[in-house]
Structure 1
Amino acid sequence: MFALTKNGFAQKLEQYKQAKNIFIFLHITPVKWTSGAVDCPEFQQLLLKYPNVRAVFNGHDHEQDSIKLLENKIPFMFDGHIGGSWGTYYKGFRVVELKEDNSLVTYLMDPLQKKNQATF
C-alpha cells in the first residue's frame, strides 16, 4: 500500500487501467455521506473515469457498516472496524468474494452471523 497525491493517484489509476479489478483503501471517505467524511468531487470524478475500480473500502467512520454507491457505480464499503476496535457494537469483519464471472459478493460477519450481503 502507498499514499499518493491527487496527481499521483491519477497516474496510478492510468497505469493500471488495463487491470481487471482495482480495489481502493482510504482512511477518510471522499463523499459527504457521513459526519466524518470530506467531500472531494474532483476525486469522485477521477474514480468514475475508471470502470475497473470495483470498490472503495473506508475507515474513519467506525459507526458505519453499510455500502453506499457513488452514482450507482462504485460501492464504498464500510465495516465499522477497519483500522480500529471501536465503532459498531459488534466486533465483526467484512468478507469480499470475487467470483469467476467477475461479480463481487460482500457481506459482514457479526462475528459468526452473515449480514448485509450485496452483489455487484
Structure 2
Amino acid sequence: MPLVGDLLKKPFQSAADAGTGLADAGQSLQDTISQLATLAAVALIVVPVAVVLLLWLPLRLRWIRRSATIRRLLDAPGGTDLLALRALTGPPGDLSTISAPPGGLADAWRRGDQHVVGALSEIALRRAGLRP
C-alpha cells in the first residue's frame, strides 16, 4: 500500500510472527504427544511379553522337559514299575484312592501286582500333569 505500507506492515508482521509461534507450539505439543503415545504402546506390549518370557516360559519349558522324560520312562521296559515307585515315594495323599491289598501297597508293588502298579503309575502321571 502506498503511503501507509510501513504502518500496516508492522502489525501484520507481528500477527504473522505470533501465528508462527502458535504453530510451532502446536507442532511441539503434537510431537510430544506422539512420543508419549509410542512410549505407552511399547510399554503395554513389552511388559506383558516380558512377563511371559521371564516368568511363565521357563516354567512351561521345565514342565515340557519333565513330562517328555516321564512319557519316555512310561514307554520304556519296566517304566510303569518306576512310575509306581515314584508314586510310592511321593506325598501319600493320592495313595488313599487305591484299595490296598493285604500287606499294603509297597508289598503289592514288590510282588509285581499289575493292578497296583498300574494304579500307582497313573497317580505318578497325574502328579506330573499328564493324562494316564
- The verdict on a shared fold, with TM-score over 0.5 as the criterion, is no
Which structure dedicates a bigger proportion of its chain to strand?
Answer: 1
Larger radius of gyration: 2
TM-score normalised per structure 2: 0.23
